[in-house]
Amino acid sequence: MECSQLQFVINENYNKSHNVYIQYGTAGFRTTANLLGHILYRMGILAALRSKVKNATIGLMITASHNIGSDNGAKLVDPAGEMLEASWEPIATKLANIENSNLVSNLEEIIKEQNINMSITATVIIGRDTRESSPMLFDAAVAGIQSIPGGIVKDFGIVTTPQLHYLVACTNTNNKYGNPTLHGYYEKLSKSFKHIRQDKINNGRYVAELSLDAANGVGAMATKEFQKYLGTTLKIHLYNDGNGELNYMCGADYVKVKQVPPINFNLTTNVRSVSIDGDADRIVYFYLDENNKFHLLDGDRIATLIAGYFKELLQECGLSFKFGLIQTAYANGGSTNYISNILQIPVVCASTGVKHLHNEALKFDIGVYFEANGHGTVLFKDNVIETLKNAITDPKSSTFQKSAASTLLNVIDVINQTVGDALSDMLLVETILHAKGWSIIDWEKSYEDLPNKQLIVKVNEKNLITTIDAGRKCVTPEGLQNEIDKVVSQYRKGRSFVRPSGTEDVVRVYAECEDPNDLNKLITDVALLVYRRAGGVGPEPQLL
């Protein structure tokens, strides 16, 4: 099918062959891998067009994160390493679902509406995870990119999602952010990490050793490579290293939701343990105490640890910036109280989805953002970096202030600011625990979490559930929120909300309250309301 304006030929090997509607959500497209062939082809085309619009390199990542191994997905990464601009999400959705006969006219419409100069070169960096379907989908994306005049592919092979974001940001900032290679990624983060602690490997109750569950994903490969750069500075015992089933009863999402350790994991009493997800952008910590009780330290814990440490360093520097912490509705009430009343750091609640937290964090000079699931990072405005550099050379600054400013600058270089990065976040947490001389038990003592749980309710149509107030209040079905409020009011410090999944026909139910013995009944009662009011599928949710 010739297109005179585009001057390329549609590759009919990637024609749409099904009528399943797939939406570009917070995490891009994500579904059963065998439905994605034509979508990856079309996203290759769209990535090339986006590159021409921005006159910059665009990223395309093939992954389904914490989903099961038979799933896959794709998302586009904008020039600064950030998520695709929200206004392009419906463009991507329409292009993915349009009939083959209308594909060319839709592309012509995009080119016209976006005023795309087709003579500009288009460069797309592609990365993929370790799923069996990824090579096939990679070929489809390459075919799409190369069908556009001037379409150039930079293939980085198997990488973590955060690595792809890093590579895109570095490429578009002329190496200002870092060297746009995988070696540059490992070297930047590990060099600063080692410099901060220097020869003092252990400190106080901190021991530079941990166990890591890599979810049998791409993060296992990255962890092995990181260990080469870290040397003896941090010893990592690796489990679920790629020889098992991806994300099956392991990984950050499993550990967070089920609040149990992963399978195939040697859990030693009071030993600091880490779980990352399949594409290595989420992280949670955990340990087992001497009474065999499981303790989870999730994204809320990580965020509060980081925020508290940065506040201390800024006070030592004698500097003041607009500093804030961004959470979602899933943040535990105990953490929010600690941030607001103990740390006295401004806290903002954003809608679920990293892009929403990222945008809120950009409103601060220093913005810490984490979802409770362990996905998050820290953003710094350029003026923060410059102020810190000036403080180090300012003759009016004391030696103590200069040292604190220098430490903070090095800490910034441990952070992947483009997106949540499990391994970067791990190095940041380890840096802070080392500086404080804390064990994981010391860290947990900062504040007490309210007992909490999550449930998933399968429904016929998730979009029957609509919410406002960053996902904390349900608007439809009408009256459902009032019923939820009545249930919650029966429990001390009770809180619960429901929200539709961005990628599956399920509704997620969250609940917390003061008494752990009441929690099962609270969350089950709310789940039953959702099941009955929103077209539940299968058996009713039962008391756990």
Other CB atoms within 10 Å distance of the CB of residue 207: 16
Instruction: In whole angstroms, give the CA distance from residue 402 to residue 396.
Output: 10
State the Rg of the chain over Cα.
24
Largest CA distance in the chain: 72
In 3-state terms the chain splits into helix, strand, coil percentages (rounded to 5) of 40, 20, 40
Give residue 294's identity as a one-letter amino acid code: F
Bridging pattern class, strands 58-62 and 122-128: parallel
Strands 273-276, 209-213: parallel, antiparallel or unpaired by DSSP? parallel
C-alpha distances in Å from residue 407, one per residue of 379, 404, 411: 17, 5, 6
Closest CA to 305 of 265, 335, 275, 264: 335
Tokens of 335: 């953490």
Residues belonging to the active site? 65
Residue 502 CA to residue 418 CA, distance in Å, equals 22
DSSP secondary structure letters along 473-524: EEEESTTHHHHHHHHHTTSTT-EEEEEE-SSSSEEEEEEE-S-HHHHHHHHH
CB atoms within 10 A of CB 424: 29
- Coil/strand/helix, residue 541: coil
C-alpha to C-alpha distances, 19 to 96, 98, 117, nearest whole angstrom: 11, 10, 32
- Phi and psi of 412, rounded to 5°? -60, -35
| b/e code 164-195 from CB counts within 10 Å (16+ = b) | bbbbbbbbbeeeebbebebebbbebbbebbbe
